Amino acid sequence: MKNWDQFLAPYKQAVEELKIKLKGMRKQFEQDATHSPIEFVTGRVKPIASILDKANQKGIPLDKLVTEMQDIAGLRMMCQFVDDIKMVVELLRNRNDFEIVEERDYISHKKVSGYRSYHVVIRYPVQTIKGEKKILVEIQIRTLAMNFWATIEHSLNYKYKGQFPEDIQMRLQRAAEAAFRLDEEMSLIRGEIQDAQAFFTRNKEHQQE
Ligand code: 0O2
């Protein structure tokens, strides 16, 4: 019987710390009055039931979770445009408060499900009263459209346990294509959108003066 509270404590600490750090990056762009490639950041520690399910599915022994399960701690960074993702990844590569151990590009190589996202796995040092503990954390970087699709597909997956009825499967594929096209269209009018957003931000600042 695992002591889950004790095991998950550094993961919870890492998620809280990284949420502050990654949201801080967004704040710095705002202060610079330049377009922020980060729209919003979320984080979670995987629920125990999901850890057990995944360990079971992948044949990971519970005493190997620290090294074998990369997404017990997970952060998500949402971007407006596909090109922002590259910028965010570069910002992560340039940081020196963690080390990148793996990158998975499901944007250039989308999954069969239609899933698109860029995953960066980091080794993050957590300071505890018993010394430093390094844990793996998965950061998923995606556009708002990719996130919309993944969130819906994830809930449906929960309902159908991966065995989608044919019509739902087909609709999900079409929705994935639509999300891809939406990202493409938005990229084409990126300049216009950013001008409008800069105008809106300036006006808001005037109203606050
Ligand atoms: P959660 O916490 O419920 O989101 P695998 O789990 O085998 O697909 P692996 O090796 O763990 O893959 O790494 P991967 O694929 O880089 O990361 C897994 C996580 O990516 C998943 O976590 C999802 O968050 C996301 N993901 C990957 N494929 C899909 C997909 O087809 N649809 C959706 N909606 N999300 C996906 P979990 O384990 O599902 O946990």
For ligand 1, is residue 136 a contact (CB within 6 Å)?
no
Architecture of the CATH domain 4-208: 2-Layer Sandwich (3.30)
State the pLDDT confidence band at 2, using cuts at 50, 70 and 90: confident
CB-CB neighbours of 28 under 10 Å: 12
Predicted confidence (pLDDT) per residue in 23-68, tens digit: 999 999 988 878 899 999 999 999 999 999 999 999 999 999 999 9
Residues 6+ apart with CB under 8 A from 58: 68, 69
**Structure confidence at residue 179 (pLDDT):** 98
- Whether this prediction's pTM lies above 0.80 is answered by yes
Active-site residue identified among 39, 68, 90, 138: 138
Q: Is the pLDDT of residue 138 over 90?
A: yes
Q: Whose CA is nearest to atom 19 of ligand 1?
A: 71
Predicted confidence (pLDDT) per residue in 77-125, tens digit: 999 999 999 999 999 999 999 999 999 999 999 999 999 999 999 999 9
Q: Is the ipTM of this complex over 0.90?
A: yes
Taking the domains of the chain in order of start, what are their residue ranges? 4-208
DSSP structure string for 17-50: HHHHHHHHHHHHHHHTTS--S--EEEEEEPPHHH
Q: Is 99 a catalytic residue?
A: no
